[in-house]
Structure 1
């Protein structure tokens, strides 16, 4: 996420140069800054996401028969499950972003939004929660949740929509092919991430800005999704809304592909019946 909230010295660097610069700047441990919060978040997030998707899908099939059993159901169930997972794990995502945003050289202004004069230094997840809570209470722990939800609802829905839609066209002999599942997952992640990336940029910048940033720096403060999109476009240019997208592809596309493949593999190992063999009436049970 350094690409969204990076300092000036990381600007205009390619992936390899940025990694090398980060290694020299923060050492090898810099690559894993905020990783503890990321792991603590992704485990419940992924579990909730896939579990809620199955439950929402069953509920839709049982209560909205007019929608049929096609990809529209996957779109709706995926969107609802994504929103549910985000709401339940968002404070951990905030902690992850703030920990990853910290760099040793704090005298450099961040790209687009200036840092506070005395940026806070967090020693861990508890420090982030304590510091953020002192700034604005529970509401501060959900700073940036608006653009997150606006991004995750179409993104999560599109992921499942595209993945299940592509799988439906795979010949029966190749249904269990790991390579094809990875390919379908990669396509789903690529398309979904491209459409919703600007909202992710707004979310990150909202997360790292301080409660008192507007008064100390005099710069514009992002307070909402559409206002944030407008501010970033006016002050940093529309290209900034897609800054780091190529780098994000390297992370998100394989991540989504592996996630979907693991999801399908675990369903097979747990002997969960294929969705094609489950009738709508059974899904509502």
Structure 2
């Protein structure tokens, strides 16, 4: 009895010295498959990052959809108006739906990227092992995550689009601003939209979403890897370097695909917009949305809110990467090169 216990204690202490944790700690975490750890790490990172930049995300949606009273305002003025009319919590309207969506989205995005990349490296040698693999794997993972979580993104947009003056009575405010009752929460949005249009209604705007996310997700990973390859090897594990490369990749990728995001938002809130203010925004498809916006509002409207996207993308990527790295350490996820073999095994 004494010898085995002593042996166990010795091995535990050795593990602690080597940087691992005690046997009692690894009984659950180390038994989890790598892909499950990636799901947990990605979901946590996404939730933390999304909550951090929620006020900027709310303003971006209000600018993108040309909400009444915000068309001619800048970022600072819009922030002040939301604070004045809705208070501090107005900055986080729709954030519940956003976090509920981003947890499975980010989890699926990170995990499926690793899985797609590992599968391609093992089975598609003609793609090589360079950034092209990251471009394709990133695009596929982005599309997968969008298809699985799109109704939640629709709910987030509809909730964030509503502007209610909390200084007045709820009923009078809603009557003056909207021709229909406001949504009370995520469940109300989903059930109402489903009753009105079925599954097709829940996926309204998914076309431009996929058209935007496929190149964006692919470019983000591609640019990140291209930049990282050119960094000296001794600096490639630096957190600052990873955050910088990720921020640059996010900025470039977002710029190229941003007009598609604008069309998506307007398609999502089309039923809420007043025709007297916006005109008919029920676009037939992505191309129709792009051409109609340019014809009615000019090409600059395709980039409405892009400046705030630049402002929020850097802290979003920074917080996301930092949180993901922290979760990977806590969950003891091996480096990506090693995780490919583990994931495919």
- Taking structure 1 as the reference length, the TM-score comes to 0.88
Measure, in 2, the Cα distance between the counterparts of 1:107 and 1:230: 32
Deviation at 1:263, TM superposition (A): 3.2
Does residue 220 of structure 2 align to residue 159 of structure 1?
yes
Distance 1:107 1:228, change over 3 A: farther
Name the counterpart of 2:9: none
Name the counterpart of 1:258: 319
**Native 8 Å contact 1:146 1:224 kept in 2:** yes
Deviation at 1:268, TM superposition (A): 4.6
1:245 to 298, 306, 313: 306
More helix as a share of residues: 2
Name the counterpart of 2:261: 200
Name the counterpart of 2:23: none
- Which range moved further: 142-151 or 177-186? 177-186
Name the counterpart of 1:169: 230
Does residue 206 of structure 2 align to residue 145 of structure 1?
yes
Does residue 132 of structure 2 align to residue 96 of structure 1?
no
Name the counterpart of 1:86: 146
Deviation at 1:168, TM superposition (A): 2.0
Name the counterpart of 1:77: 137
Distance 1:160 1:260, change over 3 A: farther
2:125 to 27, 45, 65: 65
**Native 8 Å contact 1:155 1:192 kept in 2:** yes
Count of residue pairs the alignment pairs up = 277
**Deviation sequence 1:14-50 (CA, Å, 0-9, x none):** 2211100111122222111111101101111100000
**Native 8 Å contact 2:120 2:133 kept in 1:** yes
Name the counterpart of 1:112: none
Name the counterpart of 1:134: 195
Query: What secondary structure does 1:103 align onto?
Result: coil
Deviation at 1:254, TM superposition (A): 2.3
Does residue 101 of structure 2 align to residue 35 of structure 1?
no
Deviation at 1:248, TM superposition (A): 1.2
Measure, in 2, the Cα distance between the counterparts of 1:9 and 1:3: 10
Query: What secondary structure does 1:6 align onto?
Result: coil
Deviation at 1:269, TM superposition (A): 4.6
Does residue 110 of structure 2 align to residue 50 of structure 1?
yes
- Taking structure 2 as the reference length, the TM-score comes to 0.74
Name the counterpart of 1:113: none
Name the counterpart of 2:282: 221
Query: What secondary structure does 1:250 align onto?
Result: helix
Deviation at 1:266, TM superposition (A): 3.6
Measure, in 2, the Cα distance between the counterparts of 1:41 and 1:243: 23
Measure, in 1, the Cα distance between the counterparts of 2:306 and 2:290: 16
**Where does the alignment leave 5 or more consecutive residues of structure 2 unmatched?**
1-60, 165-172
Name the counterpart of 1:179: 240
**Where does the alignment leave 5 or more consecutive residues of structure 1 unmatched?**
110-116
Name the counterpart of 2:180: 119
**Deviation sequence 1:231-253 (CA, Å, 0-9, x none):** 11111111100011001111223
Aligned-residue Cα RMSD (Å) equals: 2.6
Measure, in 2, the Cα distance between the counterparts of 1:170 and 1:271: 25
Distance 1:10 1:108, change over 3 A: farther
